[in-house]
Amino acid sequence: MSSIAKGKKLFDWAIVRPAILDSFCKLSPRRQFRNPVMFVVLVGSVLTSLLFVQALIGKGEAGPWFILGISFWLWFTVLFANFAEAMAEGHGRAQADSLKKARRDLVAKKLSNPRRDSSLEMVLASLLKKGDVVLVEAGDYIPIDGEVIEGVASVDESAVTGESAPVIRESGGDRSAVTGGTRIISDWLVIRVTAESGNTFLDRMIAMVEGAKRQKTPNEIALTILLAALTIVFLVVCATLLPFSYYSVLQAHQDQSRVVTITVLVALLVCLAPTTIGALLSAIGIAGMSRLSQANVVAMSGRAVEAAGDVDVLLLDKTGTITLGNRQATEFIAADGVSMEDLADAAQLASLADETPEGRSIVVLAKQQYNLRGRDIEKLGAKFVPFSAQTRMSGVDLDGRQIRKGAVDAIEKFVISHGGVTPDKIRQMSQKIAKSGGTPLVVADGAKALGVIHLKDIVKGGIKERFGDLRRMGIKTVMITGDNPMTAAAIAAEAGVDDFLAEATPEAKLELIRRYQAQGHLVAMTGDGTNDAPALAQADVAVAMNTGTQAAKEAGNMVDLDSNPTKLLDIVQIGKQTLMTRGALTTFSIANDVAKYFAIIPAAFALTYPSLNTLNVMGLATPNSAILSAVIFNAIIIVFLIPLALKGVKYRPMPATQLLRKNLLIYGVGGLIVPFIGIKLIDMLLVVLHLV
Amino acid sequence: MTYGIIQIVLFLSVVLLLVKPLGWYMARVYENKPCGLDRILGPVERAIYRLCGVNPANEMGWKRYTVAMIAFNAAGFVVLYALMRLQGFLPLNPQHFPPVAPDLAFNTAVSFITNTNWQAYGGESTMSYLTQMLGLAVQNFVSAASGMAVLVALIRGFVRRNSRTIGNFWVDLTRSLLYILIPLSLIIAILLASQGVVQTFKPYPTATLVEPVVVDGNSFAEQTIAVGPAASQIAIKQLGTNGGGFFNANSAHPLENPTPLSNFLEMLAILLIPGALCYTFGKMAGDTKQGWAILASMVIIFIGLLALCCWSEQKGTPQLVSAGADLQASSTQSGGNMEGKEVRFGIFNSALFATTTTGTSCGAVNSMHDSYTPLGGMVPMWLIQLGEVIFGGVGSGLYGMLAFAILAVFIAGLMVGRTPEYLGKKIESYEMKMASLVILLPIFLALVGTAVAVATKAGQAGAFNPGPHGFSEILYGYSSATNNNGSAFAGINCNTPFYNITLAIAMLGGRYLFKILMLAIAGSLAAKKFIPTSAGTLSTSDPMFVILLISVVIVVGALSFIPALALGPIVEHLMMIGR
């Protein structure tokens, strides 16, 4: 993995220290107001602080030290929430720092005309405008994002991708995009600027990773509404308890000093309000982005991460994602009356000078199966006949022999032109191979057809199981390929995808996405070429390969720096994890309230109605210790759950019902039980320390 | 005991058996498909539309639908208020009742248009026959039909795709009345009359007592017996989950509910439509399992709380035991806490009626909830506070439960790693905003109403009982009004301007704000596209979801009301058992 990918330790001091400082900076009411739950806690902290001062200087509603204790822990509840957010941002920032190093202000060689030989002018990269043309030579840093319009060069992109092997960038085609901050190792490029300073790919990446430009995602907004509503419910519950208590005291003919205190009601409100999820909500969102960048994927918006969790159709390119990049020879099938060795020998001769992966795989197969060593074609005095679109064959001319390999009909013509005939068996075998999804190559020596080579797409190991997992999660996989339908069907069956699109054109892809979306599906795809751009723009989650063109990157809402198409599966998982973490902590937070009621209700009203002490099932020492324990538990549970918020809940692919059962058990039932234990322990500790 | 349990099982079986046929029939009615009765009533329906100038094909968006619903109810309010104020000058007033006082008339009019039927009056000593029939009984029909219309609009919201409209209010209202409420109440009224429920226009007869009774030193040899056109009104009072009794004693009155069989019929009438609407919902949504899942959640909570109520009432109180009362159930007596209960119903049929009437927003009573044991009485109160979603009012119960389902789906959806969806519709921030308000609104009204009452002299003045029980009575009152139940813990004098007005506000808010929010959800859902289900979609019809929905209803209800209940029935119970 790259330098960016290396996640820092969760509680790295270098992140914790600034996060602690930041926790205090984040106390400003304007920032707190964005989070209604924590804003209520902040107001409660201020209120109890004032009540403490009142108790100190005059007649307070309760003992000053009790009020101070509550107030102290309420402040800490707010600070812990800030700390969680600051920690998440800190992790993001640590990743952004390595990116920032690449963003130094560079000097660019600006060309007056878009030609290498036109006059040069040195300008600061930050002053370059869109459409300007610059020259970059070996050793230079590429000043800003652009598109190659002339030249070929090897570029070190490790600053962005973390990958140390240089990549080729050239004009035209799918490898024409260059990123500012990367360095040219050899040769030169003429680049047209495509983004202005402050809005380059790198700038946006840094902003996203840091979480600075983060906006709440739609689901986060919906959840915030629910949490705010719950907080208001509890506000009403706690506020009305004051008149209820007053009335009860009145009815019991007791002194008005027994009415429940504001301090206790504030404590109850903070304990009941969903502070756990409220405190960790933004940390979860930021951490989701961080986990993506740890996987070397940069999302252009948080919305895209969320959508990734919802995706139910994946469009996957066959080559590179489902199959290994190239077809390989797997079998020789000789015609009647031809020995296997002869066929293998001829096939090998025909392929010795063939540098295509298919050609090399034939040489390898011949060596593996018939122990035929590779020979030097020069020494043999053979003449290589390369593949051409006209002949659709390649081979060698050797000692008067004309050995050729190629498609069935091409070889057939070749054989006829030499006065021979192609045996039926070869034709049958070829058809059989084609039906099974392979590609037949026929080998001929002059007028004699020797046999068939079976070229096969090799499906990546373990990919079928992965698709099985996806199916269980309810995600449909669709293979996209340029192959003919017959070949595509065979590979689709072998790889275990749900559907395929054969002979795919960019229009067909776009059409397919639209069709799925019209049925209500959310579609994810990967792409790299300019011709993928329309489809990428249409897809709900569109992952552009970093090696791809600028157009593809602009159209996508994520960029995979590793350019690994299989990454889509990880992205879906991260999206789901982010949503699940939110759901789990919400459930946990609400389930916690039951125990807190058992702690606080008897404590708050036992003065009026001693019978209510029966509800003190935890056997907490005194009313004050009970309330304080609940408040302390409520605060420190936030710290305990920071790792969960940052790492996300564990996720294994399984159907929704199982997943729900598992998470309800852990976070629902667990959320019911844990606070009973926690509050009791804190209460015991307070007693031991003589704090109450 | 055993007989009691057998009767409960029998009752619930009959309810569940009728769910499917009636639910299917109602789905046909609302989908405007042939339902049988349309052959006879079709011309009547068309004549009504022609007469009212309604074009049944004219679909409404949610805002127009809401305006139509509110305007119709407002008109109903005006007519009802006028009838009560003017009854002295109008016919069919054999007892020559004077006009109803303004604050009471306001409270009663609000109470009946909101399907609450909170009664701060005694029917037989306040209302003329004309007011009862033309005013109260008519509102019993149309307030129920309004609730059903809103539900149907919400269901359409789930079913329709990319649609701007959710139906036509006038059509939904007319069809609810014509094809469902009127035929059913006709059947129930005849059955009730067969059991001896009174139905007459004659003035109150006088009977000579077998032996004179001495009260406060005065000797009485005669008794006036209140009668009237009761059977027709009681049928719809039960069927429409209205609950406003013809007589003050409601279904405890021997002429309103004379026999165990009439009691059975009246309970059945309460649950009939709310239960069957679950099936209608599933049927219209294209997946009946969805409806059964909702119904299962309701039935499970219902049975749980019913068991608590029966247990607590049968156990009675230690005070009765120490006073020498025999609380043992035997073949000759019900045993348990019989205070406020009718001997002909006993413990189980009283507890069952109480659970039924408060789980739904009916509010008719056949026993006095105020006299229940603290925990036994907490059951009806808490059922009301859950938001009247355990069967709930006709229409309103199911749309309330669907708001809880939206909430459950939201949390559960997140836990399975998807942004939440229900019946193929994404639940987004707009729906969450509305559903959150739906949950918040009744809690706010009930608690704040109670708080105002206990904190003001005017409120305190009405309470007669001291201690936690007095508090329970006030809390019950505002919970009942807000959630449009209408039953009461007696023991407070609520026919005062303070209670008449504050409770009316609670009723109006609880009814119409709730409905507006649900219609807004309906409008928003209808406009959404449909998302097909996959293995990754959270199932909303399996046992896991039933458990989740139950948990959400219980947890929201418990978390909002436990502190208040702790100061009322809970502490009363603890004190009673001597803790």
* B475 min Cα distance to partner chain A (Å): 10
Asked if B190 is an interface residue toward chain A (Cβ–Cβ < 8 A), one would say no
Most confident of A17-31, A447-461, B278-292, B332-346: B278-292
pLDDT confidence band for A5 (50 / 70 / 90): very low
pLDDT confidence band for A160 (50 / 70 / 90): low
Q: Closest to B418 (Cβ–Cβ): which among A226, A310, A521?
A: A310
Look at residue A442 and tell me whether its pLDDT is greater than 70. Answer: yes
Task: Tell me whether residues B437 and A272 touch, CB distance under 8 A.
Answer: no
Mean pLDDT of B195-219: 90
Spell out which residues of chain A touch residue B558, defining contact as CB-CB under 8 Å: 594
State residue A159's pLDDT score.
67
Asked if B488 is an interface residue toward chain A (Cβ–Cβ < 8 A), one would say no
State residue A688's pLDDT score.
93
Report the candidate in A276, A265, A289 with the shortest Cα–Cα distance to residue A35. Answer: A276
Q: Measure the CA–CA gap between B565 and B356, rounded to whole angstroms.
A: 21
Spell out which residues of chain A touch residue B551, defining contact as CB-CB under 8 Å: 668
* Amino acid making up residue B266: E
For the entire predicted model, the pTM comes to 0.86
Look at residue B239 and tell me whether its pLDDT is greater than 90. Answer: yes
Annotation marks residue A255 as catalytic: no
Q: Among A158-167, B89-98, B189-198, whose mean pLDDT is lowest?
A: A158-167
State residue A209's pLDDT score.
65
Report the candidate in A51, A124, A40 with the shortest Cα–Cα distance to residue A81. Answer: A40
Look at residue A374 and tell me whether its pLDDT is greater than 80. Answer: no
For a pLDDT cut of 70, what percent of chain B falls above it? 100
Residue B171, Cβ neighbours under 10 Å: how many?
23
pLDDT confidence band for B179 (50 / 70 / 90): very high
Instruction: Characterize the bridge pairing of strands A558-560 and A541-545.
Output: parallel
Chain B residue with CA closest to A584: the answer is: B415
pLDDT confidence band for A6 (50 / 70 / 90): very low
More confident of the two residues A319 and B61: B61
Q: Measure the CA–CA gap between A307 and A311, rounded to whole angstroms.
A: 6
* A128 min Cα distance to partner chain B (Å): 42
Q: Closest to A474 (Cβ–Cβ): which among B537, B567, B579?
A: B537
Chain B residue with CA closest to A222: the answer is: B429
Mean pLDDT of B281-298: 96
* A29 min Cα distance to partner chain B (Å): 24
CA dihedral B189, B191, B197, B202 (to 10 degrees): 60
pLDDT, chain B, mean: 93
Look at residue B347 and tell me whether its pLDDT is greater than 60. Answer: yes
Read off the tokens for A123.
């300008």
Task: Tell me whether residues B447 and A582 touch, CB distance under 8 A.
Answer: no
Asked if B456 is an interface residue toward chain A (Cβ–Cβ < 8 A), one would say no
Look at residue A46 and tell me whether its pLDDT is greater than 70. Answer: yes
* B313 min Cα distance to partner chain A (Å): 21
Q: Residues 6 or more apart from A413 whose CB is under 8 A from it?
A: none
Spell out which residues of chain A touch residue B536, defining contact as CB-CB under 8 Å: 312, 473-475, 655-656
Asked if B564 is an interface residue toward chain A (Cβ–Cβ < 8 A), one would say yes
Residue to mutate among B160, B404, B416, with most A CBs inside 10 A, is B416
State residue A555's pLDDT score.
81
* A614 min Cα distance to partner chain B (Å): 7
State residue B511's pLDDT score.
95
Chain A residue with CA closest to B558: the answer is: A594
pLDDT confidence band for B288 (50 / 70 / 90): very high
Count Cβ–Cβ pairs < 8 Å, chain A vs chain B: 215
Asked if B558 is an interface residue toward chain A (Cβ–Cβ < 8 A), one would say yes
Q: Among A205-209, A276-280, B435-439, whose mean pLDDT is lowest?
A: A205-209
Asked if B567 is an interface residue toward chain A (Cβ–Cβ < 8 A), one would say yes
Spell out which residues of chain B touch residue A244, defining contact as CB-CB under 8 Å: 450-451, 454, 471, 563-564, 567
* A586 min Cα distance to partner chain B (Å): 7
pLDDT confidence band for B13 (50 / 70 / 90): very high
pLDDT tens per residue across span B293-340:
999 999 999 999 999 999 999 999 999 889 888 888 888 888 899 999
Spell out which residues of chain A touch residue B407, defining contact as CB-CB under 8 Å: 226
Phi, psi for A499 (deg, rounded to 5): -160, 165
Task: Tell me whether residues B416 and A252 touch, CB distance under 8 A.
Answer: no
Look at residue A645 and tell me whether its pLDDT is greater than 50. Answer: yes
* B311 min Cα distance to partner chain A (Å): 21
Chain A residue with CA closest to B475: the answer is: A244
pLDDT tens per residue across span B394-419:
999 999 999 999 999 998 888 988 88
State residue B565's pLDDT score.
95
Residue to mutate among B289, B418, B555, with most A CBs inside 10 A, is B418
Q: Measure the CA–CA gap between B435 and B517, rounded to whole angstroms.
A: 7
Label each residue of A192-227 as H, E or C.
Answer: EECCCCCCCHHHHHHHHHHCCCCCCCHHHHHHHHHH
State residue B395's pLDDT score.
94
Q: Measure the CA–CA gap between A558 and A540, rounded to whole angstroms.
A: 11
State residue A2's pLDDT score.
33
Identify the active-site residue in A140, A317, A483, A560: A317
More confident of the two residues A551 and B358: B358
State residue B309's pLDDT score.
96
State residue A4's pLDDT score.
33
Instruction: State the Rg of chain B over Cα.
Output: 23
**What do you get for the CA distance between the two ends of chain A, in Å?**
53
pLDDT, chain A, mean: 85
Instruction: State the Rg of chain A over Cα.
Output: 34
Residue B182, Cβ neighbours under 10 Å: how many?
16
Q: Measure the CA–CA gap between A295 and A578, rounded to whole angstroms.
A: 14
Sign of CA dihedral A40, A42, A45, A49: negative
Spell out which residues of chain A touch residue B564, defining contact as CB-CB under 8 Å: 237, 240-241, 244
Asked if B477 is an interface residue toward chain A (Cβ–Cβ < 8 A), one would say no
Chain-centre distance for alpha carbon A398: 55
Spell out which residues of chain B touch residue A232, defining contact as CB-CB under 8 Å: 440, 444
Long-range contacts of B1-9 (CB under 8 A, 24+ apart): B1/B314, B1/B329, B1/B348, B3/B348, B4/B310, B4/B346, B4/B347, B4/B348, B4/B349, B5/B348, B7/B348, B7/B349, B7/B352, B8/B306, B8/B310, B8/B348, B8/B352
Task: Tell me whether residues B417 and A580 touch, CB distance under 8 A.
Answer: yes
pLDDT tens per residue across span A256-265:
888 999 999 9
Q: Please determine, for the modelled complex, whether the ipTM score is greater than 0.95.
A: no
Task: Tell me whether residues B454 and A244 touch, CB distance under 8 A.
Answer: yes
Answer whether A403's CB lies under 8 Å from A350's CB: yes
